[in-house]
Structure 1
Amino acid sequence: MLVLAPFAHAGDTAPLERGAAVTEPYALRELDRTTFGLNRMIVGERISEVPLTAADLFALPAMQPLRKSLDAEIDRYVAQHKATLPDESIGVGPSFAFELFDRAVLDSKDTRFVLSGVVNRMDRAFVDPAHCGEVRLLYRLVRTNQPETAEDAVSPRLPMTLNLVFKARGDDVVRSGTPSCAEIAKRWLDTADIELTGSELAAKLTGADGSLALIRPENILRIETNLQIAHAPKSAIRDFRTDYMMKVFDYHAETGSFEEAVMEDQIDRDRLLADPALAAAFKAWLLEPTHLAEFDHGTVLIPDQFLAKVAVAPTPVGFVNSALQPAFGLMQGEDTTHAPVFSEADVVGALEKAAANGVQLQNIRSVAGFERRLNDIGCGGCHQTRGIGGFHFPGVDWMAAKPSNATTVPGSPHFFGDQVRRRDILTAFAEGREPDFTRGFASRPQERASHELAGTVYDDGWGGHCYVNRPDQAENDKSFSAWTCASGLSCQATGNTRMGMCFISTR
């Protein structure tokens, strides 16, 4: 497939997302105008050929609970801001210290969501094996009151994405047994060799045996939203700050609507700290050896009772008042007003118990490794790690005057760094092998990606995330000591942390 995107390494013209995502601009434009426009995909709302404006979309009965929830969450954010930062004004427009997301764009006839990418997530089949995981259609909010193809056109994109999540294999296919997960995976992998673009590629992908043939409205699982809720430029009293709000809405066929849901593995820090009994139950559950192993492998499914319905990810990372990274306060650290949920002794004891039971851990080999996994296991912490702002997939901008991903890539370093793992899982499915669903930390790909990603920003190349090892190996953290840099680069950190980035060695 002809896709303009980052290369895996010097001299290699194969895009990293080959066979696992659709990012060809002109094919996405064709798919948006035909098969996968939101007017065709929202269950029960088939609205001919007319694209849905944002005003039309949120007026649909299916979408009204979603809009109501977004409004309530923004109101709650404003109230919390005024309580914690009373001297910082907040509102819509550049005259405010914190410029708030303008909800008027969701009621406008001059904005709509356009398809900006299709992503295979069969790596999530451990959650739902029968349906072979997920496929996601990602839509970006844009302004439509300007020409799409004008030579001097400015990108009309607005800072909000809507992620429509589908079963990779619908219930009807599960009952019939064909195509199998192996066949679906093979269809996706075969797209890497398709040398087509635009309408021809779109037709190939949606054909009877195409990788997107099974993406139908009746297979919708949920909608995930992500929007830039507020932005504050640098001022005399603080550095710049941008907050991104994420929510999830499950589709309920019986009511025909999207209803607010808890977010997978998004630990509800505030409730745990306010309820000692709930905190104790969570600690006992997570440190049980089997759950600890799943937590380490990145395949844990934390029970709903411990989870939140919203995540707000600030950039840059580190705003204590945001209360967003779950480890803030769950272990002794920035939040000293509450008793920590986990002590170092708790973690050390759990690691020792797991080892005694023969549990093999891949990532968590220290207290710091446990804390980092607490941070990046949920949506908020992961989106704060190696993202483009608060997004991992800002999407393809095919409405630009000259659509191209050669200079403006559709995904974050985290997204591209995870493609080798995702494609490895697709290959295992296609070959009839048991897939390895494990994943490393959000900051650094697993060793299975070391060959393809070696020397790149995604792994150990310039800008890669690394750990400063000291000559005395006893002082080096076993969870991160393998995070080294390629030849000619050194791991350079600032402040008190030993986490850094790979840059040209000055020695």
Structure 2
Amino acid sequence: MSLFKHSLPAILALAFALAAPVAHAADPILLVTSPVALQAAEKSGADFAHWVGGATASKDGIATNQALMGSPSWSSIVDPLRESIAGIQRRDKQAGVGVSRYPHRLFDARWLTSPDVFFELVGVANRMDRRPFQSGACGETRLVYRLAYRTAAMQSRLPMTVNVELRGDAPDADGSCASSARRWQPPQAMAANDDEALGRWLVSADGPLAPQRLAHARIAQITTNLQSVRWPSAVRPDLGGHAEYMLRAFRWNAGTRRFDVGPLENTPDVARLKANAPLRKELQQWLQQPANLRALDEATLQIPEKFLATEAVSVAPRGQERLANRPFAQLFAASEWQAMPDSRTLQSPQAVLRRLDDLSCAGCHQSRAVAGFHLLGVDRRGASRTFTVGNALALPHSPHMQDELARRATYVRAALTTPRPDPFRPLAEPDDVTAMTSSATATVGASCEPSRITRSANPWLDRAEKLPRIACEGTASVCETTSVGFPGGMCSGPCNPLDKNGTCGGIAILSDFNQCLAANKPFGECLARHTRPGNLRSCSAQQPCRDDYICAQAEGQPEGRGACIPPYFLFQMRVDGHS
């Protein structure tokens, strides 16, 4: 049974993986993304309605959001989200739902109560490595659900996920979590590629999602991540567009049978702390305690709730270069910190701030992510509920998660024999994101329009200062520019089957494509009529796209391989054009 149940060929070539297609039975599962397995689990109790109640799932394991609104627990999540979205529109008169009327395209809050929209399970994650964050439990199990819709005219996933974080079982009598690690080992008798059996086993009495492990009392929190607003490149040509992602957390209240708004882990309330100098000083003094600096270094820090925000916004593109994604850099200057020479990540004052931002929600979601997300789900013809040609990801997760799976595998394997495995997590984005290439020429998919961000705590004020262009390699090559939606520019050209780094894919003709969507034409029609072929960078789990690009399915490529394109060229990655 494979350690990672994506069913994507050769997706993880880890040093400890066996060459044979079936790994040793001692390998606990880390991540399940197979649509067949997840749909089987939904039908057996792991559906989204299980958590918010008030609705019976259909035969295929889902309940519509309209049906969920009969439950006070779902309303207790929807109401704060709707209020936050309404607040965006009050502050920004250019924001609204639709392509033709508003330059700043807003998340349609009606999706949260629509009869055509639902949440589907796209991932089950073994997070035993989260043990330091869950006192008295062997880490967490996480179920990730993604928003999607189906109508007579269109179907697509949408840029929103809900993450149900469950406390794991209690440690063994000897203080270890060996029993919990073994619980993620599927039966040896199960066929390696029987994904439906895998889904049923997950929710069986012996599985990691057994009924007692799906009890509401196990909920540590529910977190939501949604693209709240998107500005197209025509509005922000210097950045190739702009998108904001709203991050919220909710805790289960057993007394009221509702969810209460909760704090975001390690995410400071910047506005409140800036306005309260004594509280800011108290936070700094707490962080500078030796034990807390050690926890910061190994990424197990837990900042007290009194300092934390209940809502945060991450922005794209350009990740950690945007000050909005670095809340601690907004609060503190590097001169207020000292290096820890014996540490693994705190070798300079700047590195201390970098590590703090790395642990915040905004910093995490914009570090080697897929447009603000780390897990979006597998798109598979004949298996995924909303699969549409031209609107499909080639990989279910981000480059950061790809690396994380290797680290988590080491931890879970160690848990089989070691009472307390090393919980250290390296920086999600270890390299200097501001470093610029000095290459004279750039190959297919590489940046050809480098720029330097002049940043502000208000991301609307960020500006990209152009640097000298980089020539694209090849006489027929072109630089697809930032102003038409290619952040940092992208080298392309005519499709070339001899280019070992390239894949032939479709490039949207921006103005015509957007006008087609604004006229409420079906996405498939706009895609067919207003794209042109071009040479794009090939991608896979082992060959990820550069920042601000995603690996999309491309014609003729096997599952798990695709072509790099800007994320908002995929319909499922944008809030606009769906209604």
- Alignment TM-score > 0.5, same fold: yes
Aligned to 2:260: 259
Aligned counterpart for 2:12 among listed residues 8, 11, 16: 8
Deviations 1:15-58 (A, max 9, x none): 9997201112211122223321123343x657375742112223
Flag the 1:13–1:329 CA change in 2: closer, same or farther, 3 A. farther
The one-letter code matched in structure 2 to 1:235 is: A
Aligned partner (choices 183, 202, 214) of residue 216 of structure 1:
214
Structure 2 CA distance for aligned equivalents of residues 256 and 198 of structure 1:
34
Provide the secondary structure at the position in 1 that maps to 2:132: coil
Q: Is the 8 A contact 2:315 2:322 kept in 1?
A: no
- CA offsets 1:124-165 (integer angstroms, 9 cap, x no match): 111124221111111111113359xxxxxx752111111112
The whole-number CA distance in structure 2 between the counterparts of 1:225 and 1:318 is: 19
> Quick check: 1:188 aligned with 2:199?
no
Give the Cα–Cα distance (whole angstroms) in 1 for the partners of residues 290 and 198 of structure 2: 48
Residue correspondence of structure 1 range 395-410 to structure 2 within 5 A:
395-397=377-379, 398-401=384-387, 408-410=394-396
Letter in 2 for 1:71: R
Q: Does 1:390 align with 2:337?
A: no
- The alignment covers a number of residue pairs equal to 427
Within the alignment, does 1:93 sit opposite 2:98 as a pair?
Answer: yes
2:395 partner letter: V
Within 2, Cα distance between the matches of 1:111 and 1:186? 37
Q: Provide, for residues 154-184 of structure 1, a one-character-per-residue CA deviation record: whole Å limited to 9, x for no partner.
A: 7521111111121122xxx67x979973112
In the alignment, the residues of structure 2 paired with residue 312 and residue 194 of structure 1 have an alpha-carbon distance, to the nearest angstrom, of: 43
Report if the CA contact (8 A) 1:325-1:380 is conserved.
yes
Match of 2:527 in 1: none
5 Å-filtered alignment, 1:426-437, equals 426-437=412-423
1:4 Cα deviation after fit: 2.4
Residue 242 of structure 2 corresponds to: 241
Worse overlay, 320-329 or 123-132: 320-329
- Answering whether residue 150 of structure 2 is matched by residue 144 of structure 1, we say yes
Asked whether the equivalents of residues 321 and 434 of structure 2 are also in contact (C-alpha less than 8 Å), the reply is: no
> Equivalent residues in 2 for 1:83-482 (5 A)?
89-95=94-100, 96-146=102-152, 156-169=156-169, 181-190=177-186, 195-213=192-210, 214-218=212-216, 219-235=218-234, 238=237, 239=239, 240-317=241-318, 323-330=324-331, 341-344=332-335, 346-348=336-338, 351=339, 360-397=342-379, 398-401=384-387, 408-444=394-430
Tell me what 1:482 maps to.
none
| Paired amino acid for 1:92 | V
Any idea what the Cα deviations from partners look like across 1:211-244, whole Å, max 9, x if unmatched?
Answer: 3225323322321111110111112654301111
Amino acid at match of 2:56: I
- Partner amino acid for 2:89? V
The amino acid that maps onto 1:90 is: A
Distance in 1 separating the partners of 2:175 and 2:49 = 27
Paired residue type of 2:294: A
In the TM superposition, what is the alpha-carbon distance from 1:502 to its structure 2 partner? 11
Deviates more, 1:51-60 or 1:388-397: 51-60
The CA distance in 2 between the partners of 1:158 and 1:316, in whole Å, is 18
After superposition, give the CA deviation of every residue in 1:40-81 in whole Å (9 maximum; x if it has no partner). Answer: 343x65737574211222331112221111122112233344
Aligned to 2:559: none
For residues 545 and 45 of structure 2, the distance between their equivalents in structure 1, rounded to whole angstroms, comes to 45
Q: Is 1:98–1:232's contact at 8 Å kept on the other side of the alignment? A: yes
Task: Kindly provide the CA deviation profile for residues 80-127 of structure 1, in whole angstroms up to 9, marking residues without a partner as x.
Answer: 445xxxxxx111001211100011111211111111111111111111
Instruction: State how far apart, in whole Å, the 1-side matches of 2:388 and 2:174 are.
Output: 41
**C-alpha distance in 1, partners of 2:149/2:402?**
28
Shift of 1:257: 0.8
Q: Measured at CA, do residues 491 and 189 of structure 1 come closer, stay the same or move farther in structure 2, by a change above 3 Å? A: farther
Distance 1:194 1:73 in 2: 47
Query: 1:102, 1:9 → 2: CA distance?
Result: 40
Structure 1 unaligned spans of 5+ = 83-88, 148-153, 331-340, 445-463, 471-489
Letter paired with 1:108:
S
- Whether the 8 Å CA contact 2:32–2:124 is kept in 1: the answer is yes
User: In 2 relative to 1, CA 201–368 (structure 1 residues): closer, same or farther, beyond 3 Å?
Assistant: same
Output one character per residue of 1:402-438: Cα deviation in whole Å (capped at 9) or x when no partner. Answer: 89x9962111111111011111121122113321111
> For residues 437 and 36 of structure 1, what CA distance do their matches in structure 2 show?
28
Cα deviation for residue 8 of structure 1 reads: 3.0
1:414, 1:442 within 8 Å by CA — same for their partners in 2? Answer: yes
Tell me if structure 1 keeps the 8 A contact 2:55–2:67.
no
CA distance in 2, matches of 1:406, 1:101: 20
The one of 56, 60, 73 equivalent to 1:62 is 73
What is the CA distance between 1:396 and its match in structure 2?
Answer: 2.7
Given that residues 312 and 322 in structure 1 are in contact (C-alpha distance below 8 angstroms), is that contact kept between their aligned partners in structure 2? no
| Equivalent residue, structure 1, for 2:474 | none
Q: 2:56 aligns to what?
A: 47
The code of the aligned residue for 1:33 comes to K
Distance in 1 between the 2:244 and 2:39 partners?
Answer: 29
The whole-number CA distance in structure 2 between the counterparts of 1:29 and 1:371 is 42
Contact kept, 8 Å, 1:7 with 1:14, in 2: the verdict is no
Q: Distance in 1 between matches of 2:233 and 2:259?
A: 38
Would you say 1:21 and 2:22 are equivalent positions? no
C-alpha separation in 2, matches of 1:121 and 1:288: 28
Tell me: CA distance 1:493–1:465, structure 2 relative to 1, closer, same or farther (3 Å): farther
| C-alpha deviation, 1:379, in angstroms | 0.8
Q: In angstroms, what is the RMSD of aligned CA positions?
A: 3.8
Q: Is the contact made by 2:39 and 2:199 (CA closer than 8 Å) also made in structure 1?
A: no
Q: Are the structure 2 counterparts of residues 274 and 185 from structure 1 closer, same or farther at C-alpha, using a change threshold of 3 Å? A: same
What is the one-letter code of the residue matched to 1:361? S
- The amino acid across from 1:8 in the alignment is L
Give the counterpart letter for 2:231 in structure 1.
A
CA separation of 1:199 and 1:318: change in aligned 2, threshold 3 A: closer
Contact kept, 8 Å, 1:468 with 1:493, in 2: the verdict is: no
Change (3 A) 1:284 1:32: same
SS of match in other structure, 1:131: coil
Percent identity between the two aligned chains: 30
User: In 2, distance between residues paired with 1:15 and 1:413?
Assistant: 24
Structure 2 CA distance, aligned partners of 1:117 and 1:208? 20
SS in 2 for 1:434: coil
Structure-1 separation of matches of 2:413 and 2:43: 31
Distance 1:329 1:406 in 2: 37
Q: 1:123 to 1:316 in 2, by over 3 A?
A: same
* Alignment partners' CA distance in 2, 1:18 and 1:493: 44
Q: Which runs of 5+ in 2 are unaligned?
A: 438-445, 454-487, 489-542, 547-579
